[in-house]
Amino acid sequence: MTCPRCLSHRVGQVAAGQYYCGDCCIEFTPGADGMARMFLVDEEGELTELGTGEEKIT
């Protein structure tokens, strides 16, 4: 699994189908089509959608 935003491999799973990138501090969810929806996490744990990654994630 690589981050759809920065392509880092420092990605951890936080929940079923939900991943967190330790380099750019976003969460992302792989979609059925292989594209990831990305979310910014603020201090209160609120998620702000950043959009969809440009490349399919593996």
Site for Zn ion, rule CB under 5 A? 3, 5-6, 8, 21, 23-24
Confirm if 38 and 52 have CB atoms less than 8 A apart.
yes
CB atoms within 10 A of CB 3: 22
State in angstroms the smallest separation of the CB of 32 from Zn ion: 22
Q: What is the spatial distance between Cα 52 and Cα 58, in angstroms, rounded to a whole number? A: 15
State in angstroms the smallest separation of the CB of 4 from Zn ion: 8
State in angstroms the smallest separation of the CB of 38 from Zn ion: 9
Report the residue number, 21 or 36, with the smaller CB distance to Zn ion.
21
